[in-house]
Amino acid sequence: MAIDYDKLLNRHFDEVRQTYTARDTILYALGVGVSMDPMDEAQLRFTYEEALAPLPTMAVVLATPGFWVKEPDTGVDWVKVLHGEQEMVIHQPLPAAATVTATTRVTGIVDKGADKGALILQERTVTDADSGAKLATLTSTTFARGDGGFDGPTTGAREVHRLPEREPDLSCDLPTLPQAALIYRLSGDYNPLHADPKVATAAGFKAPILHGLCTLGIAGHAILKSCCDYQPERFRSLKLRFSAPVYPGETIRTEMWRDGDVVSFRSRALERDVVVLNNGRAEVG
């Protein structure tokens, strides 16, 4: 079954309503590796219920539509899909606990060709259900490797942020736990690729891999620490491309270039010297 461009572009998504608690907020922060040092009080505000503050990147796990491309009527070969890009804009700091709502929509589909796949662009806005305040807007690109050649538009891909050509201005190394994926999945992504060795090896990996959005959270932590002094209200936006998987237990070095309020960045797994996040751009206050 091939992609039906008009049908997929106009696909209906039900509104998702989610109530999260302080426990969920703490669990997300632990999942991305915050408070490795239990004596670091700057990090403790994200992992201890007294004066609790959510990490800004927690927005990516709120009121998600789930793995909807797996549904048969999409026409997408879901086995071959990859998370290509992710962007988030924070409109105001997230509450430590709240009920939120969001509706996803497909904003574009790019046909790269019969042997080159397709790009599916999506957007969702997370809103506080009680106040009606807009909290965050999330946009992402799904790379559907097996679905090109459906005679759709060939343009419309999001512009890639170019990193400065000079040496990075600063860097931040953050370790990950061997069980990091098993913790992070409790924030809502239960794909067995991140937990079951048999599934991971069948997919061509030597072991279960870390969620891409967990790696995003680690990079967000590095920026929050290095450029915002752990003040989440200063963290405004972030976008990046996923370029390689991470294995739990690896150390992630985020290299940053600071130009006023704009932070360009990339992240690499030090043990393999592989860039895992690229073309990153964040705005901070």
- Catalytic annotation, residues: 189, 194
How far, CA to CA in Å, does 249 sit from each of 49, 106, 201, 215, 230? 27, 35, 17, 12, 24
CA atoms within 13 A on the CB side of 78: 11
Q: Compute the C-alpha angle 123/129/130, nearest 5°.
A: 150
- Among residues 102, 137, 127, which one has the least CA distance to residue 13? 102
How far, CA to CA in Å, does 107 sit from each of 46, 102, 253? 33, 15, 33
H or E element at residue 180:
helix 180-184
Q: Which pair of tokens denotes residue 156? A: 């419309």
**Reading across the β-sheet that carries 134-144, which strands appear in turn?**
16-20, 98-113, 117-128, 134-144, 81-90, 235-242, 274-284, 262-269, 251-259, 170-175
CA gap 136, 56 in Å, rounded: 9
CA gap 248, 176 in Å, rounded: 6
